[in-house]
């Protein structure tokens, strides 16, 4: 099924009923394979066949630059088209990264959760399938169209790598503001053990909720300081940026998630904690119809 995409900048739709109103205007939001989800032991299966991701061109020279923009809904950083990830079913080219965080009254802003736990924030590095599609607009509503790397952020020591982005937020407080920032190694934003991750097929987390995303959610969170977490909401005007991005997660008990751990100790830990269980069913919202296990598209790569 192909759908016309008119705007590749996704917005948050808020109101008294929140996401419960989304399916009325965006049918995919009431469908299956919706994100975000909660990762818990009943849906996790260890898979030794998952490969470490290969990051190509992630180390961008400081003589080059990224573009940070405020589109009225969120602040995002446009990435170099020379950045790619491999060891997925296709090669995916980087497009942009953005953060999901809580507002001043809600410090837990991650979208995905682990055993019901929210984290302070969540970064998404968005890639599109450049083997099949010419750009992200063409890929966004297609099967295998997008691959998103999700990094969970928790409070800890000051993080100089993330500050390379955060310190420029003051220059994009308002809609349509844009600033160029020096290139840096984007791989520095990843956790120390990027070979340990959760993998599943899901969707965009906000309308139009296309089920086109291959998610890689890193198992280990990255630490940023409380000051850095707070400045994300003070440096950008609340009216001009997505304010509370902790979207209610889908019914994760109905997913089969594949967990990848590399080191011998981590493998043992995964086998003890993340055991196999496949439960088919619905995802976001109470009205979704149950699917059979044979209909599930969740699979291992």
Residues with catalytic roles: 73
Pair 290, 251: CB distance under 8 Å: no
Report yes or no: 208 and 29 within 8 Å, Cβ to Cβ.
yes
Give CA–CA dist 226/246, Å, rounded. 18
Say how far apart CA 103 and CA 229 lie, in whole Å: 10
- Alpha-carbon distances of 206 from 27, 146, 202, 211, 212, rounded to whole Å: 12, 14, 12, 11, 12
Beta bridge partners of 68: 77, 179
Give the chain's end-to-end CA distance (angstroms, integer). 23
Which residue(s) pair with 260 in the sheet?
A: 197
Share in percent of the chain as helix, strand, coil (round to 5): 20, 25, 55
Q: Which helix (H) or strand (E) holds 227?
A: helix 226-234
Taking the alpha carbons of 66, 144, 214, 285 in that order, is the dihedral positive or negative? positive
d(CA 277, CA 147): 24
3-class DSSP assignment, residue 91: coil
Which residue from 279, 261, 281, 285 is spatially nearest to 271, judged by alpha carbons? Answer: 261
Q: Whole-angstrom Cα distance, residue 39 to residue 257? A: 8
Q: What is the C-alpha to C-alpha distance for residues 12 and 262, in angstroms, rounded to an integer?
A: 36
CB 121 within 8 A of CB 112: no
């Amino acid at each position: 099924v192909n759908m016309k995409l008119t705007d590749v900048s996704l917005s948050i739709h808020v109101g008294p009923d929140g996401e419960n109103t989304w399916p009325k205007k965006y049918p995919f939001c009431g469908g299956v394979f919706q994100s975000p989800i909660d990762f818990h032991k009943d849906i996790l299966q260890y898979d030794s066949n998952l490969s470490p991701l290969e990051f190509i061109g992630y180390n961008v020279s400081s003589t080059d630059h990224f573009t940070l923009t405020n589109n009225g809904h969120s602040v995002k950083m446009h990435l170099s088209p020379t950045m790619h990830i491999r060891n997925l079913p296709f090669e995916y080219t980087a497009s942009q990264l953005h953060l999901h965080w809580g507002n001043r009254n809600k410090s837990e802003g991650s979208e995905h959760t682990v055993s019901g736990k929210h984290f302070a924030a969540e970064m998404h590095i968005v890639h599109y399938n450049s083997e099949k599609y010419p750009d992200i607009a063409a890929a966004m509503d297609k099967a295998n169209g997008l691959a998103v790397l999700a990094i969970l952020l928790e409070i800890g020591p000051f993080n100089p790598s993330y500050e390379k982005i955060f310190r420029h937020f003051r220059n994009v407080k308002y809609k349509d503001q844009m600033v160029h920032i020096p290139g840096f190694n984007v791989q520095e934003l990843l956790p120390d053990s990027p070979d340990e991750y959760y993998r599943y097929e899901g969707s965009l987390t906000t309308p139009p909720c296309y089920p086109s995303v291959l998610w890689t959610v890193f198992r280990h969170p990255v630490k940023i300081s409380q000051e850095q977490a707070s400045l994300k909401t003070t440096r950008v005007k609340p009216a001009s940026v997505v304010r509370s991005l902790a979207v209610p997660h889908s019914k994760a008990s109905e997913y089969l998630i594949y967990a990848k751990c590399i080191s011998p100790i981590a493998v043992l830990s995964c086998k003890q904690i993340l055991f196999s269980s496949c439960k088919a069913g619905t995802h976001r919202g109470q009205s979704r119809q149950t699917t059979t296990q044979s209909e599930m598209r969740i699979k291992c790569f």
